[in-house]
Amino acid sequence: MTMDFTGKVALVTGSSSGIGREVALKLSSMGADVVITGLEEEGIYEVVNTCQTQYAGKALGVYGDLTDDQFVKQLVEKTVQEFSKIDILVNNAGILVKTDIEAPGYMASFDRAMRVNVRSMQLVTHLSVPYLVATNGCIVNTSSLCANKPFRTEIAYCMSKSAVDMFTKCLALELGPRGVRVNSVNPSEIRTPLISTDIEIHERFWQRNSPLGRIGEPADVANAVAFLASPMAAFITGAHLPVDGGYRLTSDRS
């Protein structure tokens, strides 16, 4: 069995850069029609252009903010208008929030983490479910190692990713009888624009502390997403797939 997404339509949020970009390109390279959305207009154009010039599938770019409910509605509507269906939903959009609990802006940071990492995912899914049921589709949520491993100054982020994991399990239980699988990928730190500063420090940390001795790459996560979205994972739902080089097996970071 091979991973061939020809004829499938994938909506990938947060796909103008980083992990989402790599996921969109991976699915497109395997034949899928993809919807690219994010907050970086140039990034959206670049991903759409790459998909259309290098791969056989179609690509639609939609610029906007997922914390805007009206935009989310338009995103799902445009996807269905363009492709008539949704087979794969990759809820990838998210932000990293680092704030000490005593910081004056902690609650504002907490609210933003929940809005972006949790609420927007709920709404995209809520509006997409009827189409996913119609295609016996699947959902892959981007969670994090932080869902189960605490880190200092990352309370809001870790809580939001724990919520994503529970959302994944509850949704898998609810939608399984209707033919929709729901899983998550739980990566460790990945080489993306989020850690573009002091990259050598990050690389040295992972070389020392990860059993596999390196930092994660966007392609590592994209490969995991493609597997979970494929028929090869047809009997997998409600799972959280670690993409962390084994770091979850180590003691807590000081």
- What are the per-10-residue average pLDDT scores of the chain (254 residues)? 90 97 98 98 98 96 98 99 99 93 94 97 99 99 92 92 98 99 96 77 87 93 98 98 91 52
pTM of the model: 0.94
The DSSP element (H or E) to which 105 belongs, if any, is none
75-134 confidence digits (pLDDT tens): 999 999 999 999 999 999 999 988 899 999 999 999 999 999 999 999 999 999 999 999
Give all domains of the chain, ordered by start, each with its CATH number.
9-240 (3.40.50.720)
Cα–Cα nearest to 3, from 235, 233, 241, 236: 233
55 is annotated as an active-site residue: no
Q: How far apart are the first and last CA of the chain?
A: 44
Cα–Cα nearest to 84, from 163, 141, 9, 193: 9
Catalytically annotated residue among 55, 131, 157, 247 = 157
Q: How would you label 133-152 residue by residue, b for 16+ Cβ within 10 Å and e otherwise? A: eeeebbbbbbbbbbbebeee
| pLDDT attached to residue 226 | 99
| pLDDT attached to residue 254 | 40
**Using an 8 Å Cβ cutoff, are 139 and 125 in contact?**
yes
* Mean pLDDT for the chain overall: 94
